[in-house]
A and B are shown apart, each in its own frame.
Chain A
Amino acid sequence: MNGWTLSILGFYYIGLEAWCMKFVHGAMAEVHVIGQIVGATGFSESSLFCKWGVHTGAAWKLLSGVREGQTQVDTPQIGDMAYWSHPIDLHFATKGLQGWPRLHFQVWSQDSFGRCQLAGYGFCHVPSSPGTHQLDCPTWRPLGSWREQLARAFVGGGPQLLHGDAIYSGADRYRLHTAAGGTVHLDLGLLLRHFDRYGVEC
């Protein structure tokens, strides 16, 4: 079979596919993200809670579910893992792969006076393969000047990002001085639908 016939076949195939697509109209790619924010480990503070959110590109449309939320405050009694077991249930439709959803977190700690301070920022992409995934999302927090560090150590509080989107955007973060926080653990289940129709193998 020479190249010419191959290319003809290729065209034929493409045409066939387009023809088929007419009939499967409405079969859009969908993604279900179902899972939970299990908890966090490795934070020096106890009594943690977490604010989370999902950020997607413009091609993504949230069909149902909530984009962001906040967990309860968990004070571990045994061990150092704070368990939130916060459910995440999102249903997206997408018209493109760009801007695959990513989760961003702000872990906060509550001290004995009930005051809250930032313990870490983190973000991770939602996995792109179907199935269940256990994700660990390491976190960081801005360090601030020595004065701020001192203040944080004694009176609490601490520097926070003014623009929260810096957590997941690729701004020039090298100017930021950060300290490592703990890790947020996630269990996510992914269901993809109709991606194969658009030539995405999963």
Chain B
Amino acid sequence: MVSGKPHGGSQQEPAQEDQDPDTHLLSMPTQRGPRSLPPLPSASRTGFAEFSMRERMREKLKAARSKAESALLQEIPTPRPRRLRSPSEKELETEFGVEPGRETQRTVQDDDSQSYSRVKFRDCVRKIKSKPPLPPGFPSAEEAYNFFTFTFDPEPEELEEKPKAKHREGANQEEVEGEEEGPPVQGVNKTDEEELLAGRDAEHFLLGSHHGAEDFVAVRPAYYESVHIRLQKEKELLFIPSRLTVPTYKKLPENVQPRFLEDEGLYIGTRPEVPRATQNIMENRLLVQESDRRWFGDDGRILALPNPIRPSPSRPPALTQEQDIHAELETLYKKAVRYVQKTQHMIGSGDLPENFQLDIDISGLIFTHHPCFSREHVLAAKLAQLYDQYLARRQRNKAQFLTDKLQALRNAVQMGLDPAKSHKSVDITPKAINEYKSEIRQTRKLRDAEQETDRTLLKTIIKVWKEMKSLREFQRFTNTPLKLVLRKEKVDQKADEEAYEAEIQAEISELLEEHSEEYEQKMEEYRTEYQQWKAWRKAQRAKKKKKKQAAEEHPDEEVEEPSPGEGPVKPIPPEPTQRAVLEQQVRERAARSRRRPGEPTLVPELSLAGSVTPNDQCPRAEVLRREDVKRRSVYLKVIFNGKEVSRTEGRPLGADFRVHFGQIFSLQIVNWPESLTLQVYETVGHSGTTLLAEVFLPIPETTIVTGRAPIEEVEFSSNQHVALDHEGVGSGVPLSFEADGSNQLILMTSGKVSHSVAWAVGENGTPLIPPLSQQNTGFRSALKRADAISSIGTSGLTDMKKLAKWAAESKLDPNDPNNAPLMQLISVATSGESYVPEFFRLEQLQREFNFVSDEELNRTKRFRLLCLRSQEVPEFRNYKPIPAYDREIMEKVFQDYEKRLRDRNVIETKGHIDSHRAVVAKYLQQVRESVLNRFLIAKHHFLLTDLIVEEEVPNISILGLSLFKLAEQKRPLRPRRKGRKKVTAQNLSDGDIKLLVNIIRAYDIPVRRPTTSKFQQPSRSSRTFRERHAASPTTHSPTHSADYPLGQVLVRPFVEVSFQRTICHTTTAEGPNPSWNEELELPFRAPNGDYSTTSLQSVKDDVFINIFDEVLFDVLEDDRERGSGIHTRIERHWLGCVKIPFSTIYCQARIDGTFKIDIPPVLLGYSKERSVITERGFDSVRSLSEGSYITLFITIEPQLVPGESVREKFDSQEDEKLLQATEKFHAECALKFPNRQCLTTVIDISGKTVFVTRYLKPLNPPQELLDAYPNDPQATAELVARYVSLIPFLPDAVSFAGICDLWSTSDQFLDLLAGDEEEHAVLLCNYFLSLGKKAWLMMGNAIPEIWFNIQRYDSPLRVNFDVTKPKLWKSFFSRSLPYPGLSSVQPEELVYQRTDKAAAAELQDRIEKILKEKVMDWRPRHLTRWNRYCTSTLRHFLPLLESSRGEEVEEDHRAELLRQLGDYRFSGFPLHMPYSELKPLIEAVYSTGVHNIDVPNVEFALAVYIHPYPKNVLSVWIYVASLIRNR
């Protein structure tokens, strides 16, 4: 910025003045404004202080300059003349800029009393004026300077001319002097015009100057100041501190020793790194400059704060960032991938957790006892054990340690007692000495004990070895290679003795001291006690005296003698201990526990150098034993979490009873292991395997990884009892080494497994350890963050002891504040060891800041309600208004829910008659719940079509069609139903939806049989079974022309539709083929007001379409009144019903068709056949109607969008290729026939996708059924079909809330005893396959392979069933994808239990009782009489119906009934249904309306029969009838 200074040198002094020209200069090109600079407050304001400072400065400089000048003069004499010519000061200021203030100095000198600038200005003006004779272009130095640096006050107008002139001169001078500032500087502090003027002048000058250039030029030599001079000058000016080290004494005050705080134990942080030389320089400088040494610390070094610089850079270099990135911040480059529609929502699997690995290294097994051990082995094992113990003890060498400690303590005491000796001024208080002494006592005791143990151990070893030797001699063979060598180590007898003696003496003296102390103490006690005793005695005596007197006075008064024990006993003075006695004791003890002086030290060495006697030299029993050992082998099973995961190979037992495995098992695990067990198995020959023992292995800590895990030994023992007939000693049996059999010992099989368990290390070096507690994985990362130990770089450490050890090893500075938390942690953990909190609080201060406790929060009813609602718990799913205050919520809201939770595992048998059904119902409920829960998330998953309803953009063809429509007939002859607009079931409310039932007509309604026609013998049907089946069901052509015999109305049927407690009925029509053509409207109410798709799908309500016959009875008692009035009673007789579940209507949107009316097999009083017609000889085929039919059209208004079945993909265990093939197959089929269902995979009950053919497999039907008709396959097939049909039907859509179709296998189906059509179909198909029939399952696919119907029609009637025609049927499996031979999911064989007949009978009775009660309940205002005779008749009749499956019997039955109940008008019918629950039975009975009869003398009959089929399939028959006695 300041490069443009014209006079570089001059700016220093008049700092204020030159600033402005500078800025002005720079801004000049752009500034053409009115005024470039505001008039500056002139430098005249410079205060006096500044002034004086300048003066001082000036003086200094002057001095320096004169010096320099003189030096110059001396050195360079030549340039002097020239210098003289041009003023040297000007030179200086322009060239080097070293001489600022020269000018000012002069001016000030000229006139220093005046205001600075003013003076200057005037001065310069004066100069210009007064120096016309000066050569032009030679302004004085002052002028030049002033020109460039001065701030001119703009005020004097009369001066305008002057600056111009001056400027010109200035400009000229500028030019001449050839400054690097090229363009002439103009217009300093001038107005615009002036600037312009000046510019013109400059131009003028440049173009053609009238001054000669040489006039202005002065040639000057380059100015140079030699190095020496400069150095010399610098030397005078500068102080250069030395680099040499400053001795410490200089830095410290006199006679003060340096003090090192660190040695005193105070923490001193690391000082910043400063080079030694720099430090020295600094110190030297400080010594010279600041003489008071306050910069130096006590240790003689410069004071310094701890190094503030972090050891590692906090901002890493840009390129090395890959090296250490925190795990949390790790990034992963992910390719841009196509967004997969999340329809393939995997249910059940979630994220596959990573695999973790546990390596179990089983290196071997050693038996410490085994039944095959010989006696020698037993001893050898004992010896080995002892030797191990010995080695361990020797390694610890506790005795030596205690001895040393004792020595040290003694020394300490010595020193304490003798302070003169101590060179350190450690003041040991008497208290400390006492402590020492007590410690000495304890240590001595411990040492003695240790030494004694050592000695006894050694003795035992020798004893056992001797026993073993004698045994070997006795049995004359050796079995074990064990050999004990006792090595004697000589000791210096004399020194040893001395040491021994010294030790004893020391001990004696100590003991003596101790005893004397004790004696003193006891004496003291004795004295006090004695005094007490004395006092007591005195008192006693006084008392006695008194008593004596008293006794004399009252002789009869019993004198209470103090019992001798009560009063203090006379104390016995303690005896002082005798030294001799003490010495005796000590010596005895020493002799017992210590090596005698001079006795060589014995070092036992056990080796396996011995040789084992070969077999041929052994006695027979021993050989037998050895052979037995050879036959045995051992293996280990690895049990993980209670499950066997792997096992080692069986290895033979060696002669030394060691087994080497050396196997490493890598367990891939997912969860943190719960238990890890090894089971030791022993195999004897080929006979059998016995479990010897279980060994529980500890689960390794997270720090133990493969390669670092030490081999550990775990002992095991077995409680097996083995007695062997050879030399082997057996296990668990008494054994004695003595000849007389005394000293028995019982040895159990035991041993050690050496193993190591460690976590494997992954490829990238991370240990494959599952998180400690996976239940709360969410907390883990947080836990890591809050780990106190993580501050030192390791985290997750759990073992405090190890941490302490580590801290000790790594020599952490305990005083470093950084380590303070750690140190505290360690001190808490190690010292106290009492309280290390078992828990870890995630947010430590959370509780302190909590508003309320957890319990209180959970107790809030409102929150609970809100949560339950949002979780869509069934009870609360559509609970709309939740009160704002807790108190407004009733407690009973939760009752149902809580009850359900409580009862989840309690099987309620009350509601179900049959316990098995109860179990099944419970199970179904649970399956349903789990499935529901699983789909809860999936339900919130929307597809594009769920959210967006897109009206199709009309294209040409649609436009064309709509044009056609214009030309359509307004009222076509054959109207068709138009498609209606669908309404999404979202913003609907109660009353919006109506169910439209259009009842059109019915065919072949049963007709009344005149009760009076008793004489008319009904013609028995001669039709056979086969014929009837051959009859096509499509023969129901409307025969309205059916003549009623003699004009009598055969039947007056009407239809009653009931749905959700709403009942509508049509008008009454006449005749067996009535035509109503009526539309009934029934309101629909969704459960809980929830009109969502799923809710609608799960509506369980059925639409009942009941057909009744309206019968008019004349109840006029008196014939005479017939003329005047009609008195009839209307009765309605139930004829049959059609049941249509709402879910079907909802899914299908509309139901249009002819349905078979479910008519009871026996309708008393009605006949299905029109006997009249047959009698008249009409075409018999026409009357052979199988049943009655009704034509219906049912729909929902407005039309609802049917819910889609679940589109989620499930887990599958099928081959991936197969699944792909199914997808392809689906796609191909959908392309051709988008509306047809194509089913290749289905979902089984556990929610997995299974290929459909797996369900089909020949399965045996119950043997009972096969045996029924051994020779008639057709009948068998019939029976089997009937059996299947008896299994209750329960649509999946209802049981699983319309979520999906679940297929259960046949055995599951039979267990559940409830299922969908596909389960029935599959079971039937399987039975037929088993019967050797060729059966297919028709579902738009056929079995055993999947075929897809590629014909034109999909109505089953029009389908050609010949699957061999490839033109019509598309096969799933082709040549390119051969049938892979999929195994079936079905069981190999179905097992059928015979149903308990007694239980069935009991159930029958119960049902009958309940139904009778119900009927009575339904007739509250009337007396209900039961006709027992009729009931028993019916009860006998029902089994017949069962055996004939409801056919064939009608006529017989009718005849029978007529014979028996001739006097009654009878109306009733048997109902037949598969048994599932009681409720449907009651419903069925109720729907017949039998109880509705209110004729006063009506009687009822009700009979129940249950026929048990295998596997608890029950066929229930209920016969209800009403009887009215004919008058």
Contact = CB atoms under 8 A, between A and B. Distances in A.
A172 interface: yes
Interface residues of B, number: 48
Interface stretch (B586-594, B851-859, B1463-1471): B851-859
B1235 to A, nearest CB: 29
Given A64-B867, A98-B849, 18 more contacts: A26-B859, A27-B885, A28-B863, A63-B866, A64-B870, A94-B851, A110-B339, A155-B335, A159-B334, A160-B334, A162-B327, A166-B329, A169-B785, A171-B326, A171-B785, A173-B329, A174-B314, A177-B318
Contacts of A26: 859-862, 885-887
A51 B898 CA distance: 37
Contacts of B853: 95
Contacts of B336: 111, 113, 115-117, 155-158
B330 A95 contact: no
Nearest to B867: A63
Nearest to B851: A198
Contact of B851 (A28, A113, A117, A173): A28
Nearest to A195: B851
A155 to B, nearest CB: 7
26 contacts: A26-B860, A28-B856, A58-B846, A63-B866, A93-B860, A95-B852, A95-B854, A98-B845, A98-B846, A116-B336, A116-B337, A117-B334, A142-B331, A151-B333, A157-B337, A158-B336, A160-B334, A161-B330, A162-B327, A163-B328, A171-B326, A171-B785, A175-B316, A175-B325, A175-B329, A176-B329
Contacts of A25: 856, 886
B886 A97 contact: no
B557 interface: no
A99 interface: yes
A165 B777 CA distance: 13
B274 interface: no
B332 interface: yes
B327 A163 contact: yes
A29 B849 CA distance: 13
Contacts of B851: 28-29, 94-96, 197-198
Contacts of A99: 843
Contacts of A142: 331
B863 A63 contact: yes
Rank and list the top 8 A-B pairs by shortest CB-CB distance, nearest first.
A26-B886, A156-B336, A115-B336, A64-B870, A159-B331, A63-B866, A198-B851, A157-B335
B571 to A, nearest CB: 60
Contacts of A95: 850-854, 856-857
A59 B846 contact: yes
Contacts of B887: 26
A91 interface: yes
B1113 to A, nearest CB: 62
Interface string B824-849: 00000000000000000011011001
Contacts of A157: 333-337
A145 interface: yes
A64 B869 contact: yes
Contacts of B785: 169, 171
B315 A174 contact: yes
Interface in A44-68: 57-59, 61-65
Contacts of A163: 327-330, 781
A114 interface: yes
Given A64-B866, A95-B852, A58 B842 contact: yes
Interface string B865-909: 011011000000000000001110000000000000000000000
Interface string B311-352: 000111010011011111111111111110000000000000
A59 B846 CA distance: 8
Given A64-B869, A93-B863, A174-B315, A148 B328 contact: no
Interface string A1-34: 0000000000000000000000001111100000
A175 B321 contact: yes
A130 interface: no
Interface string A176-189: 11000000000000
Given A26-B862, A61-B857, A165 B328 contact: yes
A111 B852 CA distance: 50
Contacts of B318: 177
A41 B860 CA distance: 43
Contacts of B335: 155-157
Contacts of B857: 28, 61, 93, 95
A12 to B, nearest CB: 22
A27 B332 CA distance: 46
B843 A57 contact: yes
A63 B330 contact: no
A156 B335 CA distance: 7
Contact of A169 (B315, B321, B328): B328
A42 interface: no
A142 to B, nearest CB: 4
A27 B869 CA distance: 19
Nearest to B324: A175
Contacts of A65: 870
A123 to B, nearest CB: 14
B611 to A, nearest CB: 65
Residue among A57, A94, A111, A176 with max Cβ neighbours from chain B (10 Å):
A176
Interface string A136-165: 000000101100100100011111111101
B326 A172 contact: yes
A174 B312 CA distance: 13
A171 B331 CA distance: 14
- Residue among B328, B332, B339, B781 with most chain A CB within 10 A: B328
Contacts of A64: 866-867, 869-870
Given A25-B856, A26-B886, A175-B325, A144 B866 contact: no
A85 to B, nearest CB: 14
Contacts of B339: 110, 114-116
A165 B781 contact: yes
Interface string B909-931: 00000000000000000000000
Contact of B843 (A58, A113, A115, A161): A58
A115 B318 CA distance: 30
Nearest to B323: A175
A161 B331 contact: yes
A188 to B, nearest CB: 20
Contact of B886 (A27, A57, A58): A27
A58 B860 CA distance: 18
Given A25-B856, A28-B863, A166 B842 contact: no
Nearest to A97: B849
Interface in B764-808: 781, 785
B76 to A, nearest CB: 62
Contact of A115 (B338, B849, B861, B866): B338
Nearest to B871: A64
A197 B856 CA distance: 15
A109 B859 CA distance: 45
Interface string B171-210: 0000000000000000000000000000000000000000
A26 B864 CA distance: 11
A28 B851 CA distance: 8
B867 A160 contact: no
A10 to B, nearest CB: 20
Contacts of A58: 842-843, 846
Nearest to A172: B326
Nearest to A170: B785
Nearest to B847: A96
A179 to B, nearest CB: 12
In this complex, which of B334, B842, B859, B869 has the most chain A Cβ atoms within 10 angstroms of its Cβ? B334
B643 to A, nearest CB: 33
Given A162-B332, A174-B314, A98 B863 contact: no
A9 B318 CA distance: 63
A144 B331 contact: yes
Interface string A87-104: 000010111111100000
Interface string B76-117: 000000000000000000000000000000000000000000
